[in-house]
Structure 1
Amino acid sequence: MSNTSPLLNVTGLTKHFPVKGGFPIRRTVGHVQAVDGLDFQVAEGESLGLVGESGCGKSTTGRLITRLLEPTAGTISYRGQDITHASRRQLAPVRSEIQMIFQDPYASLNPRQTVGKIISGPMEINGINPPGGREKRVRELLEIVGLNPEHFNRFPHEFSGGQRQRIGVARALALEPKLIVADEPVSALDVSIQAQVVNLLQKVQQELGIAFLFIAHDLAIVRHFSQRVAVMYLGKIVEIAERADLYDNPRHPYTRALLSAVPEATVDDGTPARERIRLVGDVPSPINPPSGCRFRTRCWKATEKCATEAPPLLHVEGNRPGHLTACHYPESPAAVPGPRHAKNPREAA
């Protein structure tokens, strides 16, 4: 991680959604534990990738940080200021510095507004009048994201998915933010367009020094974009490390299994093919997660200790500084996803 002081500091972040039931009086009968005690930091100008299976709580985490959702517990500190339960008035100076790029470019743009109105809207709400006027600034932003400034008066339906996502990027840049939460910004786009949008975001980050929380399930894209990577499973971070260290030296069994699933082009040169670790069973329900380690029901290394004690996210022996793992029985150092000598007892036949 960067030596600079953290721009964003998240401690014990938790979000439980109530489950209503009963008749005729609807009462709370349980909670969906979407996010359950996250700890991480994002430094100025840094990109932190957040990966995991669908339903693990990635998008909820992004919405908590942007305060689109109210946290159940924990603290969110931005530039030393606690914004966990800040009121709308208290958040006003911070809102412009934390922006979000949404997952679906077809749903995140108002079809009744022109591109110019969509991008200038944040400036209008925050009372910002850039030199030369808002229209000039919007045209500059369109050029920055690779769109024709003459598209200022067009409507969203006149653009392709990739172009719409570029409009979303321009809107996020309109207030010159310090932190952008990108919630799976390319998952709804064609593969041919994904690289263009990711390269655009990378260019924006490098040129403007913006920090990113990059939420995705595509491990190849995260490796290309993020400097550090955090792996989530069922509402918890199970491993976090520098990009190269995590991909080359995964210590948590879930991280190992996740990386083994990445498609890979192979050449028939006699080299043993990389083994695919197949996890049995489904992800447990976040309404009633397993005791102890939440991954234990699908882990080939689980013991009774895993059922009774939740492993803390700590530095384990063999890890580099900043590489934290939440596992009682971490994988051997430098256990890159490759041919294994021992048969995984939980592998599907």
Structure 2
Amino acid sequence: MSGTDTLLSVTGLTKHFPVRGGFPVRRTVGAVQAVDGVDLTVGEGESLGLVGESGCGKSTTGRLITRLLEPTAGKITYAGQDITHAGRRELAPFRSEIQMIFQDPYASLNPRHTVGKIVSGPMEINDINPTGGRERRARELLEIVGLNPEHYNRFPHEFSGGQRQRIGVARALALNPRLIVADEPVSALDVSIQAQVVNLLQTLQRDLGIAFVFIAHDLAIVRHFSQRVAVMYLGRIVETAGRDDLYENPRHPYTRALLSAVPEATASNVPAARTRIRLTGDVPSPLNPPSGCRFRTRCWKATERCAAETPALVRVEGNGVGHLTACHYPEARDTAPGPRPSEGPGIAA
């Protein structure tokens, strides 16, 4: 992020959801550690990709950044202001600048409202009266996202999934935001439509200078859209780097395994450029995560040190500037990964 002013900074961000049980008194018997000590930064106009397996805490992190959820611990700084536990009145000046595009275009739009009402709603709530009126601005936004302005009076059920997601994008743009959190915005769409929506977001990011936190599990889409990428596993960031540096020289074993699963189109007589790493075991429960490194139960490099010490997210020897890795035994650069997991099982929880 050299040369870029920091717009959003997240330090030690934590969200634990209490689990209640017992009879007749409902007492707290545990906690789901959905997000546990996440550190992230996003620069002005920058696109940051957040990737990882389902259930690793990506969407929860996005909702914490937008303050749709209250953090358990940590600090969120936006434009130099601490908004971690800001109340409704304190958040008011920032609400219009931080918007979200939701994963499901069918559930995120009110079926009883017209498209015009959905897109102009944020302006009405924030008492914004643009030049020419809210209706004119809403029609302009529909045109910007590739829809016909005449769709203003139609209802969501009259549109396809891709068109609904474009409506969600238009709603997010209504308040001229500086930061948009896109929570898997194309995962519910047909493959033929995904590229159109991603290209639309990329165009908006470039032309309007909007910063993005792009949450996804499709690594190919993240590489196409994001300038920097952060890899998440079981509530923690395990590696973060510039797009090309991370994809070409992953240092964390989990990142290496994740990238090895990306399908490659090669001729039948040409060997694959990347060896598939098959991880053994299941992802541990966030109710009772492993001590130390959370990936150690599935890692082929795990030792007793991995169980005793939590690796810090730091720059390791050989990494480029801004390339941070949380591993005691990072993978060597420009070499094939070490033994397969089947040859060296991780340390049990």
Compute the TM-score of the two structures, normalised by the length of structure 2: 0.97
Shift of 1:112: 0.1
1:12: Cα distance to partner?
A: 0.5
1: CA distance, partners of 2:272 / 2:123: 57
Cα distance change, pair 341–168 in 1 and its aligned pair in 2 (3 A): closer
Aligned-partner Cα distance in 2 for 1:56–1:343 = 23
Q: Structure 2 matches for 1:64-143, cutoff 5 A?
A: 64-143=64-143
3-state SS, counterpart of residue 246 of structure 1? helix
SS in structure 2 at match of 1:132: coil
When residues 124 and 55 of structure 1 are mapped into structure 2, their CA distance, relative to the original with a 3 A threshold, is same
Question: Residue 238 of structure 2 corresponds to which residue in structure 1?
Answer: 238
Aligned in 2, Cα 1:343/1:30: closer, same or farther, shift over 3 Å?
closer
Q: Could you tell me how far apart the structure 1 residues matched to 2:41 and 2:338 are?
A: 37
Count, aligned residues: 345
**Which residue of structure 1 aligns with residue 147 of structure 2?**
147
Does residue 309 (structure 1) correspond to residue 309 (structure 2)? The answer is: yes
Task: Please say if residues 279 and 347 of structure 1, whose CA atoms lie closer than 8 Å, have aligned partners that are also in contact.
Answer: no
SS of the residue corresponding to residue 69 of structure 1 reads coil
Give me the whole-angstrom Cα distance separating, in 2, the residues matched to 1:341 and 1:152: 57
- The reply on whether 1:63 has 2:63 as its aligned counterpart is yes
Which runs of 5 or more residues in structure 2 are unaligned?
Answer: none
Deviation larger for 264-273 or 98-107: 264-273
SS of 1:314's partner is coil
The residue matched to 1:93 in structure 2 has which SS? helix
Does structure 1 residue 20 correspond to structure 2 residue 58?
A: no
Q: Which runs of 4 or more aligned residues in structure 1 lie more than 6 Å from their structure 2 counterparts after TM superposition? A: none
User: What is the SS of the residue equivalent to 2:18?
Assistant: strand
Deviates further, 192-201 or 265-274: 265-274
Contact 1:52 1:233 (C-alpha < 8 Å) held by counterparts = yes
Residue 345 of structure 1 corresponds to 342
CA distance 1:282–1:223, change in 2 (3 Å): same
Q: Which residue of the partner structure matches residue 323 of structure 1?
A: 323
Q: CA deviation at 1:66?
A: 0.5
Q: Residue 284 in 1 paired to residue 281 in 2?
A: no
State the 1:347 CA deviation.
8.1
Residue 315 of structure 1 aligns to a residue whose secondary structure is: coil
Task: Provide closer, same or farther for how the CA distance between residues 123 and 282 of structure 1 changes in structure 2, counting only shifts above 3 A.
Answer: same
**Contact 1:38–1:236 (Cα < 8 Å) also in 2:** yes
Offset of residue 5 of structure 1: 2.1
Q: Is the 8 A contact 1:2 1:46 kept in 2?
A: no
Q: Distance in 2 between matches of 1:231 and 1:159?
A: 34
Does the CA contact (< 8 Å) of 2:298 and 2:341 recur in 1? no
1:3 is aligned to 2:3: yes
Offset of residue 267 of structure 1? 1.1
Contact 1:280 1:346 in 2 (8 A): no
Pair 135,267 (structure 1): closer, same or farther in 2 beyond 3 Å: same
- Partner AA of 1:239 in structure 2: E
Measure, in 1, the Cα distance between the counterparts of 2:136 and 2:272: 58
Residue 342 of structure 1 deviates from its aligned partner by 4.5
- Secondary structure (helix, strand or coil) at the match of 1:200 reads helix
Amino acid at match of 2:315: H
What is the distance in 2 between the residues matched to 1:150 and 1:161?
Answer: 18
Kept in 2, the 8 Å contact 1:116–1:135? The answer is yes
* Residue 204 of structure 1: aligned partner: 204
Q: 1:87 to 1:346 in 2, by over 3 A?
A: farther
In structure 2, what is the Cα distance between the partners aligned to 1:271 and 1:51?
27
Measured in 1, the distance between the counterparts of 2:109 and 2:272 equals: 48
Deviations 1:132-151 (A, max 9, x none): 00000000000000000000
Task: Tell me if structure 2 keeps the 8 A contact 1:55–1:234.
Answer: yes
Residues 108 and 343 (structure 1 numbering): CA distance in 2 closer, same or farther, change over 3 Å?
A: closer
Relative to 1, partners in 2 of residues 1:133 and 1:287: Cα closer, same or farther, differing over 3 Å? same
